[in-house]
Structure 1
Amino acid sequence: MTRCEPSWIVPTWPAPPGVRALATTRVGGVSLGPYRGLNLAAHVGDDPAAVARNRALLVGQAGLPAEPDWLHQVHGCTVATAGTAEACAEADAIVAERPGLVCAVLTADCLPVLLCDRAGERVAAVHAGWRGLAGGVLEAAIVRLGGPPEQVLAWLGPAIGPRAFEVGPEVRACFIAADPAAAQAFRPRPPDRWLADLYGLARQRLARAGVTRVWGGEYCTYGDAGRFFSYRRDGTCGRMATLIWRDAA
């Protein structure tokens, strides 16, 4: 396999000292075909040896203190704890309560959200597609993070943008039933579809939960094929990772 150095995005947010985070792109890695680049998912049909090599490249080049806990994501609201057996079970968010443990979620259009408290004592990564957002995965992660929500910082990683995320009327109705203000995050696409703003919906849900210090949300995975995998655009494709951890003591 030909080695290619990975490339990633470092969040611009006022995280406390010792809190580290990054979001990978598809650039780099050794995967081929529709997974070309730094595919980090083992469940999408890629060569397992390529995925293992990509993960090793990420750990080494990013200087991660440990291998991430790779969740089995199911678009639900279960929150796992890093460094425990439940981190290998079905979950769509993960919280680290100790330094040196790496929280990670895999996405290719769904919204990855990173959370930390202002004291830098706990961190979390959340996989938030529309089903997870509507079901309350952000709220569940905030509760597990502990402490007052107003002390929580959030960063919204690369996801499908509001000009590309087309959904049916049932998706819009689901969000509006929970909060009528969610209507602001949808634009009509005739004759009977809607364009949904995942970033806007996430900001609304975070604000309702008491989290108002939010950064990120400027990318579109669908519209940038050179940097991002996109399931909506390509169907068969790889996955990026969004990770957060605290420096080991």
Structure 2
Amino acid sequence: MDTKPRYEQVALSLRARLSSGELRPGDRLPSENQLSAETGVSRDVARKALQLLVNEGLIESLGRQQGYRVRDVQPLTYHATRSELASRRRGATADIWMTDVMEAGRRPAIALSVYMDKPSSEVADLLGVKPNQQVAVRRRLRLVDDQAYAISVAHFPKWAVEKVPSLANPADLQPGPAALLSEAGHEPVRIMDRIRLRMPTPDERDILRIPPGVPVAEHVRAPYDEHGTAVRVTVTVLPGDRWTLEYEVSPRDI
């Protein structure tokens, strides 16, 4: 005998229909009344089952009296290793992230803002600057097929802006900040990544339109030059329902 609450049993049945492909992205789900009649539960129990799947990011509510729909989310792969390869950056004609998205057959766009700001204590520590010392910030809202997919915020210390003044310009840079800093004598020789999983902040939920129950991955990346100096620190927020992070490790590093 199944001892789970009845609404969990109904939700489990709906999940099975989702995983089998019976219910596909964009399909409408049974209404609360229909689900109640199909499963022999009250409307309140049917509503709780549907809300559970909303909270898991599997379906979305269309609003009062409009019912529910299977979410149509097409995840992308973030090639966390390949994106930093100098050979790949040299051959790219656009932002390397945009290049990856286009190669996946999707349509990328970037909303860029550039400003001076005080870094977080973590970013300041990685950059080797004082927490009250301002740094140049290049903030990108990354969009895929007109939907917000990620927030990427790159921080550059004062010395980097002095060597590459265009870092402080509110314009997309080609061949890109990493290549420009390499040309200025600060080519990365190693990269430190930190990845933490957490729930989104209210601002992140609003900007990225993250449904209830969906976590984000916060990716902190600090490339270091041959002198052991971090040339930048980038913090990227990736909704968990839209991304797969992929790393490649050379056998020489194992």
Which one has a larger percent helix, Structure 1 or Structure 2? 2
Fold shared per TM-score above 0.5 = no
More contact order relative to length (CA 8 Å, sep ≥ 6)? 1
Question: Could you state the TM-score of these two structures normalised by the residue count of structure 2?
Answer: 0.28
Which of the pair has more CA radius of gyration? 2
